[in-house]
Amino acid sequence: MVAATAHKIKFFGRRKGKKIRPARASLLDELLPKLAVKIPEDGGKITPPLLFPFTPKEVWLEVGFGGGEHLAEQARRNPKVGIIGAEVFINGVASLLAHLTDSHDDGAKGTPVISQDRTDNVRIYNDDVRLLFEALPDACLSRIFVLFPDPWPKKRHEGRRFIGPGNLPTLARLLKKGGELRVASDDMTYIRWSLQHLTASPFFAWTAKDSSDWNNPPADWVNTRYEQKAIKAGRKPIYLSFRKV
């Protein structure tokens, strides 16, 4: 994995997809700046609890939140937890903002109709999460989610897989002792790869007691559109939970 420095980091993947609908474009223009996490230009550290307008009991991070269904619902269920979502795909960021506000297009110049505002405990980093890692202090997170990441199935691309030797020491640094790293994928190559590196890591302990623990989602699981699509296509998601030791 490439070292996470601004001048060396190399990103693989899409940053933008289809044209964003006017209402969601308005959310990006008006709401995203209020929720955006900014990295100090002087190289200083971010204090995660200070990102929120209240003192959260815990701070969680979701790496690559996709369409945002999971993050938005976790935020709704856990109003006393501060959740940072990192996602480079701007269409996914727009989708998350729509979920957080239950907004839709009223047809008048793309002005979004907002029926809810559940943004107090959510903050967004719209760039490569490895840049954010450098600005976060040790032991600042209680939970990290890496859900259905790009599996990079070709062997020549395996170094691009997020769960691996390049990122695990950093994830361990950021997690508090006893904190949870939650990984899910419907790609068995990725699951085997993740297990290989996580079980070999001195920083993490697998919490599974039997096969039901990885074949069934956790009790507080939030279903996503991607997950349901995978199941419908006959792919079986696997759910992994590791504790920082």
The candidate with the shortest Cα–Cα distance to 60, out of 220, 199, 216, is 220
- Contact between 2 and 133 under an 8 Å Cβ cutoff? The reply is no
Instruction: Give the whole-angstrom CA distance, residue 109 versus residue 36.
Output: 25
Say whether 42 is catalytic.
Answer: no
Sheet of strand 175-185, all strands in order from the earlier edge strand to the far edge: 122-125, 81-86, 58-63, 141-147, 175-185, 238-244, 204-206
Tokens of 140: 């600042």
The single-letter code of the amino acid at 5 is: T
Given the residues 150, 186, 187, 220, select the one marked as catalytic.
150
CB atoms within 10 A of CB 71: 28
Q: Are 102 and 114 in contact (CB under 8 A)?
A: yes
Q: Which residues are catalytic?
A: 150
